[in-house]
Amino acid sequence: MCAVRDRRPEGAATPRRSRLSMAGSLTNTTHGRRSRARRAKVTGGAPPQTGAIAARAGRAAVYGDPSSSGEGALRAPDHERVSPWLWAAAGLAVAAGALWSLYLAANANLLWEEAYFRLAGRSPALGYADTPLGTPLLAALSEALFGSGKLGSRLLTWALSALLPLGVFFLAEPLTGRVRALIAAALSALVPPFVIAGVYAYPEGPLQLLAVVFAGCLIRALAGNKLAWWLAAGAVCAIGLLYHYRFWFAPAGVLVFLLAAQAGRAQWRNPKALAAGAVAVLGVIPSIAHNVLTDFGPLRFQALERQDWRFWPRGLLYPVEQAGLVTPVMFALLAGAAVLAVLRWRGGDARHALLVCMAGALFIPFAALALFDSRYLLHWPLMTYALLIVLAPEAAQRFHDALGQAWRRWTARVAAVIGAVLMAAGAIGFGVSLLIWQAPERFLEPDRFYTLQGGDLEDWSRFAPALERAFAQAGEGAVFAAADQVAGVQLRVTGGVTARAYMLDHPDDATRGVQTAHAPRGESEADLIAREGGSPAVVALREPFYLYRDLDAVAFRERLCAMFEDVRLVETARLPPGRVEASFFVARVREGGPAETSEPCAFLPHAILERPRPAERVSGVIPVYGVAAHPSGVERVEVLVDGEVKVTAWQRHDLPGWRFPPVLDFDPDYPQVYWDVRLDLDGVPSGRRTLSIRVVARGGESFITGERPLFVR
């Protein structure tokens, strides 16, 4: 790293730096300013003030101007000469991170949220089921400007994410000086989650940029009390509030600052700060209007219904998981940066008080929520790290200075090398993993697919051939009906569906208020019933693992049986590595609306293999179980490995503690429809194998179902 050039006369003594100066003045404050401060302290007076200085001091007394003496009096050096080598190194880091994420953006599979944002953004509204209007509109704008391909739909989000290092520099420069700001910007270009944030048309990258620019504008507004910076802060905040609900925690942190810090409380009497607040409020008006019109469904989902509100012990590991996400060395630096900011707040620096309040509001709620929500996501607090990374270079210097003289040289070098290697390996490793998900068979042998980690990263465009065959069988004029939000948006965007499309009221979507988004576009279940009576249809359903143990899912499929007639399964397809399975049916929308029927319905299968799950890695003796029913009764259930019978279940029974729903009461032995056996895998070759079951009815009829890949160790 490069340091500021020392301009002291040759032979001048180097002032000794205290290791306890975290809350003290910045190390680059000029000698003259220190001398004047010492003279003022000794004499109990102050240097003569010009009219302008006196006026500024008067404003500070009213508004808490941190550029004056008192809270927040510290200032970063105004002029620092930066080595061209440091500029070059920082530019190289920024370019490398941006180009790597650009390449990944052109190739990585589409997330279902991206597909949802694109479809929602095509129909502008005050808000959407689980997001304000900003994110969908940005996705739709990128698609309109650059095309509907992977890169085109992601290009605007990538560009905003690539600007994060500039935003970090903007925030850091008044706090730490140009040299450390440049180092912080370079670091932000290499942190793995920051790099990956630019890959998808997803909120994270723009949110991080908005957070640091918002904080940078506020810090400048506090320092000079200029109306332009206050209004800029308000405008950035308004954009963030329009963009995504998670940004709302950033102004919540500012509110904490306005209540907890002395300079913050002074802003309640500052008309310029109040004007900024008025501008910021404009960004929340559309979301409030949308929530009022939808009975506050989006806010209820985000604040109450999304979480399961049960103690989740794994949430105690949240800090450890975060360290793994950003790499342990960087997490240590960020923790040191947080401590540094807190100490400076205690020392009277308003700017660092603001930084602490914003970072705390963006981290603490999510860390607490992780204890009571098994579905928490690791990327939620990333805005915190974008704020704290501005102090990471100084935290590194403090750690270095705290070491003994004999340890400093080699420890600093080893830590720097380890940190750089971990960040590079993380960014490259995450990216390579995304590329493998794009085409697993190009990178892995089929018996190694189980090594793929992650969720919702499958390539849904692989369902396109199955969809095409289903539409061919459905005939001309067929409409498309998807059971749930994920399948619906993915198949419409990646599956090439051009037919009139409708979203069914799946129970998993009910808590999200998704129906409120489909109804204005005429794509809801009610619209399907009202408009398409008698029309042929292709129905896509994702297959759950335990259908007959989920009463809501069973009731949903019973409703589909009443809504459609002449239902026939075309095929069930699976995406590599085998965890996502979807069934495609052809049917006819029942004329006159839903009607109860006693006829067998293909939406409710007669047999299900519940365990082992698809793509599971197994060895030794494993349990195999499921449900089997038939109008004439079931004689036996055979378990097949690669088409060869390995074990047979001759009896069925009740499942202790659970009664299967009456949709299976057509079987004469109901409710005894559950079967289970133990499968010994000794002698089964290791690698990828195909497991299935054959159900043999008492009348001699048989059928094979439940086919899935297994990885035998």
pLDDT tens by residue, 399-426:
888 776 666 667 777 877 888 889 999 9
Using CA atoms, how far apart are residues 654 and 513, in angstroms rounded to an integer?
Answer: 36
138 falls in which pLDDT band (50, 70, 90)? very high
pLDDT value for 600? 82
The residue among 565, 586, 602 that closes a domain is 602
Burial of 623 from C-beta contacts in 10 A (0-12 / 13-18 / 19+)? exposed
Is residue 25 predicted with pLDDT exceeding 80?
A: no
3-state secondary structure of 671: coil
Residue 25 inside a domain? The answer is no
Residue 250 inside a domain? The answer is yes
637 falls in which pLDDT band (50, 70, 90)? very high
pLDDT value for 194? 96
Residue 514 inside a domain? The answer is yes
Is residue 54 predicted with pLDDT exceeding 70?
A: no
291 falls in which pLDDT band (50, 70, 90)? confident
pLDDT value for 30? 40
Residue 380 inside a domain? The answer is yes
Is residue 296 predicted with pLDDT exceeding 60?
A: yes
Using CA atoms, how far apart are residues 136 and 146, in angstroms rounded to an integer?
Answer: 15
Are residues 552 and 613 located together in one domain of the fold? no
Are residues 233 and 290 located together in one domain of the fold? yes
pLDDT value for 513? 63
Are residues 134 and 217 located together in one domain of the fold? yes
512 falls in which pLDDT band (50, 70, 90)? low
Average confidence (pLDDT) over 542-551: 90
The residue among 572, 602, 632 that closes a domain is 602
pLDDT value for 406? 61
Higher-confidence position of 511 and 112: 112
Q: Are residues 125 and 291 in contact, defined by beta-carbon separation less than 8 angstroms?
A: no
Report the domain count for the chain: 3
Q: Are residues 638 and 675 in contact, defined by beta-carbon separation less than 8 angstroms?
A: no
Are residues 314 and 396 located together in one domain of the fold? yes
pLDDT value for 577? 82
The structure tokens listed for 663 are 């949709």
Q: Where are the beta strands (DSSP E) in 440-579?
A: 479-482, 501-503, 536-542, 564-575
Are residues 567 and 671 located together in one domain of the fold? no
Domain that holds residue 666: 608-712
- Strand 687-697 and strand 634-641: the pairing is antiparallel
Are residues 580 and 681 located together in one domain of the fold? no
Are residues 194 and 326 located together in one domain of the fold? yes
Given 3-state DSSP classes, what are the helix, strand and coil percentages for the chain, each rounded to the nearest 5? 55, 15, 30
Are residues 551 and 621 located together in one domain of the fold? no
Residue 466 inside a domain? The answer is yes
Weakest-pLDDT range from 37-41, 277-281, 353-357, 628-632: 37-41
> Which residues partner with 127 through β-bridges?
132
520 falls in which pLDDT band (50, 70, 90)? confident
Are residues 291 and 403 located together in one domain of the fold? yes
Query: CATH code at 708?
Result: 2.60.40.10
Residue 446 inside a domain? The answer is no
pLDDT tens by residue, 449-462:
777 776 689 999 99
3-state secondary structure of 669: coil
pLDDT tens by residue, 466-509:
999 999 999 999 999 999 989 999 999 999 899 999 999 998 88
Are residues 658 and 596 located together in one domain of the fold? no
pLDDT value for 407? 66
Residue 421 inside a domain? The answer is no
pLDDT value for 404? 66
pLDDT tens by residue, 375-401:
788 899 999 999 999 999 999 988 888
Cis amide leading into 605 (omega within 30): no
Is residue 598 predicted with pLDDT exceeding 80?
A: no
Are residues 596 and 647 located together in one domain of the fold? no
pLDDT tens by residue, 348-376:
999 999 999 999 999 999 999 999 988 78
Q: Which residue type, as a one-letter code, is found at position 674?
A: Y
Average confidence (pLDDT) over 235-250: 97
Are residues 402 and 497 located together in one domain of the fold? no
Using CA atoms, how far apart are residues 77 and 93, in angstroms rounded to an integer?
Answer: 25
Tokens 């051939």 belong to which residue?
A: 465
- The mean pLDDT of the chain is 86
- Strand 621-628 and strand 616-618: the pairing is unpaired
Using CA atoms, how far apart are residues 170 and 214, in angstroms rounded to an integer?
Answer: 10
Average confidence (pLDDT) over 26-39: 41
**What percentage of the chain exceeds 90 in pLDDT?**
64
What are the CA-CA distances from residue 394 to residues 2, 76, 412, 648 (Å)? 13, 13, 13, 67
Residue 32 inside a domain? The answer is no
